[in-house]
Amino acid sequence: MQTVTYSVPNISCGHCVHTIQTEISDVEGVKAVMANAGSKSVVISFETPASEQVIKETLKAINYPVAE
């Protein structure tokens, strides 16, 4: 299993956290998602078939792109 932490500047409230956790949890292979509005970060644990590319694309699609 792999764990990544992303900076996501668009997180501003509890609704953002809920949306991210719900949508990313639906990605096949994702085991845990913890979004934090205070630190504007998302910690995701996953295994195949999920990948960083798929997760980043999903975040971008729901308007929470990862800061580069």
The pLDDT score that the predictor gives to residue 46 is 98
pTM of the predicted protein model = 0.94
pLDDT in tens, 40-54: 999 999 999 999 999
Q: Give the start-to-end residue ranges of the domains of the chain.
A: 2-61
Task: State how beta strands 30-36 and 2-7 pair.
Answer: unpaired
Find where tokens 């609704």 sit. Answer: 15
CATH 3.30.70.100 fits 2-61, yes or no: yes
Residue 55 has pLDDT above 90, yes or no: yes
Q: How confident is the model at residue 68 (pLDDT cuts 50, 70, 90)?
A: confident
pLDDT in tens, 11-40: 999 999 999 999 999 999 999 999 999 999
Burial (CB count within 10 angstroms: exposed 0-12, middle 13-18, buried 19+), residue 36: middle
